[in-house]
Structure 1
Amino acid sequence: MHVKKRYSILAGLGIVAVFTLGACGTDEAGSGASGGTGSTTSSTPENADAGQKGDVTFAQMMIPHHQQAVEMADAALQKNASPKVTELAEQIKAAQGPEIETMTKWLQEWKAPMTSDQDHGGHGRGGMMAEGDMKNLSAAGGAAFDEMWLTMMIEHHEGAIDMAEDVLKTTNNSEVKEMAQAIVDGQNKEIATMKALL
């Protein structure tokens, strides 16, 4: 009888051990599930990266875009364009010069190259003027210059607005948002003024 009792106790302990091991297994599975849940949130950094890449591309492409606008503004100032065109040229230069400096600083802080793999240098791409367009503008004078300058600058501004609206859809950077919105608001107003002058 004593042996049978001892066997029963050991058997009972064995069952307890099995249940204990089973419980541990459940805990491990549970922690594995929570780890799986953690891995599903990995898209958040990817989305952040996408936003950051968009910010970099925006600055890389907007800097030369602004530089060409400043070049066109300088052409108007050198040509002694009409007072309204001269006023616009001064306004554009005053707004876009500091923005070029700010975006250049961003790229330096982000340790990003100054140029983008995306090329928008051709006429009709991002509103950028081709080299031939710039030469024709330089050769023009008087009322013909004013008309050509206004027509080209409207297209140029429309390209900048498109780029700014694109980055507003992806950026989480408050400084980028502020500048992009300023470009949209400011250049839309200038477009309305230029259209009225044509």
Structure 2
Amino acid sequence: MRSRLIATMAVVALALAGCGSSDAAAPKAPAGGEHNEADTQFSLMMIPHHKQTIQIADLATKRGSAEPVKVVAAEIMSAEERDIQQMTGWLKGWGVPVPSADEHKGMDMPGMLTDKDIKSLESAQGAAFDKLFLPMVAKHLENGVTMAKDVLKSGQHAETKALANKIVTEQEDQIKKVQALIT
């Protein structure tokens, strides 16, 4: 009986030793070279920012009345969902927990709409919704541009900088579209 226990322990020890090899399950660094704290913070802040943009854009597709408002909202959602996937991959590769959708809820994070803002959108419908949504989303996108420009100055990760440049270009274009709809 004792020899069976020793044999079992030896098998377990060998199996565990195999799991500890340097090749096993080590997270791979994301492409794009080294990253710094600015790159990490950009993704940590931009993911909740984008998720909130998607939340309000989704409301616009359901509650807005003007077709151009719905179209620009759908464009915004599509672009920001892709960005979130990319940033999530980087954070996981860097061993950093990905923020949840409401991680910054109730906090005074720059660029985030307040709970009161969200509630006012949720209670509006039709043209009244459009009138509330358009200036809110324009300001929200402007804050996203500011965040992207900040990481361009202080970031190090090549892919983060490429995404930041894309965000600046796309969101400045979206802001122009939104501002053209404000009457």
Indicate conservation of the 8 Å contact 1:80/1:86, yes or no.
yes
Output aligned runs, 1:46-57, within 5 Å: 52-57=36-41
Q: CA deviation at 1:113?
A: 2.6
Measured in 2, the distance between the counterparts of 1:81 and 1:183 equals 27
Measured in 1, the distance between the counterparts of 2:160 and 2:54 equals 21
Deviation track 1:51-106 (CA, whole Å, cap 9, x = no partner) reads 61000000000000000011111101121531111110110011000111111111
Label 1:196 to 1:123 Cα distance change in 2 as closer, same or farther (>3 A).
Answer: farther
Normalised to the residue count of structure 1, the TM-score between the two structures is 0.69
Which stretches in structure 2 are left out of the alignment for 5+ residues?
1-32
Measured in 2, the distance between the counterparts of 1:182 and 1:55 equals 15
* Bigger relative contact order, structure 1 or 2 (CA pairs below 8 A, ≥6 apart): 2
Determine whether 1:63 maps to 2:44.
Answer: no
Cα RMSD after superposing both structures: 2.2
Partner of residue 194 from structure 1, selected from 169, 178, 181: 178
Larger of the two Rg values belongs to structure: 1
- Give SS of 2:81's match: helix
Q: Supply the AA of the counterpart residue of 2:141.
A: H
Label 1:123 to 1:79 Cα distance change in 2 as closer, same or farther (>3 A).
Answer: farther
Structure whose residues are more often helix by fraction: 1
Indicate conservation of the 8 Å contact 2:64/2:127, yes or no.
no
The equivalent residue for 1:170 is: 154
Q: CA deviation at 1:126?
A: 2.4
- Give SS of 1:127's match: coil
Q: Supply the AA of the counterpart residue of 1:150.
A: L
Q: What percent of counterpart residues are identical?
A: 38
Output aligned runs, 1:119-130, within 5 Å: 125-130=109-114
Measured in 1, the distance between the counterparts of 2:155 and 2:147 equals 12
Q: Supply the AA of the counterpart residue of 1:151.
A: P
Which stretches in structure 1 are left out of the alignment for 5+ residues?
1-47
Partner of residue 94 from structure 2, selected from 84, 96, 110: 110
